C-alpha cells in the first residue's frame, strides 16, 4: 500500500513530537539535526525503502545508513513505529544499559551500521552497494550524511570509489541545514560549491527542498538519475525545523529543552 503525501506529513508531525519527548526525557540528544532530517527519514521509511520489519535481515532489503549518527531520535522513533522495536523501548533512550544509545548500533533490529563517528557511513554504503552488484541483487543503499560531516576526508574517498565502481544503486543524501555545532558550515569550513564538488567526483547531483515530501518522493523514485552513476541528493533543510525558537540556531545542535521550553515546543508541534 502506497502512503500518500498527507499521511507522510502527519507522520512527520508525530515523529517530531516523539523526538522532542525522547530528548526531554533523556536529558540528552541532538535536537536540531534530528528535526531537520524528519521528512527525509519519513519519506524513505514510509514510502521508498523496500524493508520488512518482521524480517530485518532480509537479503534483498534496501539498506539505510544514518551516517550522521547523532540525529538518532527520529530514526529510533520510526523504527519503533514500524515495529522493528517495541514502542515502549523508546522510554529507555540514553538510559543505563539501554541498547538505544545516543548513536545507533546494529544491536537494534533495522540498524545497518554503528555510526556516530562521522565520515564512515558512505564507505560502508559503498561496500553494501558493491555486494549488491556482485550478487546481482536489486536493492538500493541510502546513506544520510550531515553537511558538517562533508569536511571528513573519508567521505571523499568513498565518493571517488562509488563512481569508480559505477554504483548506481547507491544514493547519498546530505542534510544541508547549513549549521554545525560550531556555527554556520560556511564559517567553520566552507563547503560550497557542494554540488560541483560531488559532480566533479562523478556523481549525479540533484538539489531538493528537504522538507517537501512530494519533492523528496519524486527524487527518490527516480534514482539513479543517471545509469552507472551514484546519486547525491542535496536536501536543503532548516536545522530545528518545526519549532520557531529552535530553527536556524546553532546552539540547539544538542541543547536539551527546559520544562517551559518543552511545553512551548509541544504546543507548536500540536
Interface residues with another protein (CB under 8 A) are 59, 105-106, 112-114, 116-117, 119-120, 123-132, 134-135, 153-154, 157-158, 160-161, 164-165
Nearest CB to another protein, comparing residues 64 and 252: 64
Nearest CB to another protein, comparing residues 33 and 121: 121
Residue 48 and residue 217 in contact, taking contact as beta carbons nearer than 8 Å: yes
Other CB atoms within a 10 A radius of the CB of residue 167 amount to 25
Residue 201, classed as helix, strand or coil, is coil
Nearest CB to another protein, comparing residues 34 and 67: 67
Nearest-angstrom CA–CA distance, 65 and 62: 10
Distance of CA 12 to the CA centre of its chain: 13
In the complex, least distance from residue 261 CB atom to another protein, rounded to whole angstroms: 33
Residue 175 and residue 185 in contact, taking contact as beta carbons nearer than 8 Å: no
Nearest CB to another protein, comparing residues 1 and 134: 134
Nearest CB to another protein, comparing residues 115 and 185: 115
In the complex, least distance from residue 201 CB atom to another protein, rounded to whole angstroms: 13
In the complex, least distance from residue 160 CB atom to another protein, rounded to whole angstroms: 7
What's the DSSP call for residue 225? S
Give 3-state DSSP helix, strand, coil % of the chain, rounded to 5: 45, 10, 45
In the complex, least distance from residue 53 CB atom to another protein, rounded to whole angstroms: 18
In the complex, least distance from residue 186 CB atom to another protein, rounded to whole angstroms: 25
The grid coordinates listed for 171 are 544514493
The residue with cell 539535526 is 33
CA distances from 158 to 145, 155, 248 (A): 12, 5, 29
Amino acid at each position: 500500500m502506497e502512503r500518500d503525501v498527507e499521511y507522510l506529513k502527519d507522520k512527520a508531525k508525530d515523529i517530531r513530537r516523539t523526538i522532542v519527548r525522547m530528548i526531554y526525557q533523556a536529558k540528552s540528544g541532538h535536537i536540531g539535526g534530528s528535526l531537520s532530517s524528519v521528512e527525509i527519514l519519513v519519506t524513505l521509511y514510509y514510502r521508498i525503502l523496500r524493508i520488512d520489519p518482521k524480517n530485518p535481515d532480509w537479503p534483498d532489503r534496501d539498506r539505510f545508513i544514518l551516517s550522521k549518527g547523532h540525529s538518532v531520535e527520529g530514526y529510533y522513533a520510526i523504527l519503533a513505529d514500524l515495529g522493528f522495536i517495541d514502542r515502549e523501548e523508546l522510554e529507555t533512550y540514553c538510559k543505563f544499559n539501554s541498547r538505544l544509545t545516543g548513536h545507533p548500533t546494529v544491536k537494534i533490529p533495522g540498524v545497518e551500521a554503528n555510526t556516530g563517528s562521522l565520515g564512515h557511513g558512505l564507505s560502508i554504503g559503498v561496500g553494501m552497494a558493491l555486494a549488491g552488484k556482485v550478487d546481482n541483487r536489486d536493492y538500493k543503499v541510502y546513506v544520510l550524511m550531515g553537511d558538517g560531516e562533508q569536511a571528513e576526508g573519508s567521505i571523499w574517498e568513498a565518493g571517488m570509489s562509488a563512481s569508480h565502481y559505477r554504483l548506481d544503486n547507491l544514493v547519498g543524501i546530505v542534510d544541508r541545514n547549513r549549521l554545525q555545532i560550531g556555527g554556520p558550515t560556511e564559517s567553520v569550513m566552507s563547503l560550497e560549491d557542494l554540488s560541483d564538488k560531488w559532480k566533479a567526483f562523478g556523481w549525479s547531483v540533484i538539489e531538493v527542498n528537504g522538507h517537501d515530501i512530494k519533492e523528496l518522493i519524486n527524487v527518490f523514485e527516480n534514482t539513479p538519475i543517471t545509469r552507472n552513476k551514484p546519486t547525491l541528493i542535496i536536501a536543503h533543510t532548516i536545522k530545528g525545523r518545526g519549532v520557531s525558537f529552535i530553527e536556524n540556531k546553532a546552539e540547539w545542535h544538542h541543547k536539551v529543552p527546559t520544562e517551559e521550553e518543552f511545553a512551548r515546543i509541544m504546543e507548536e508541534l500540536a
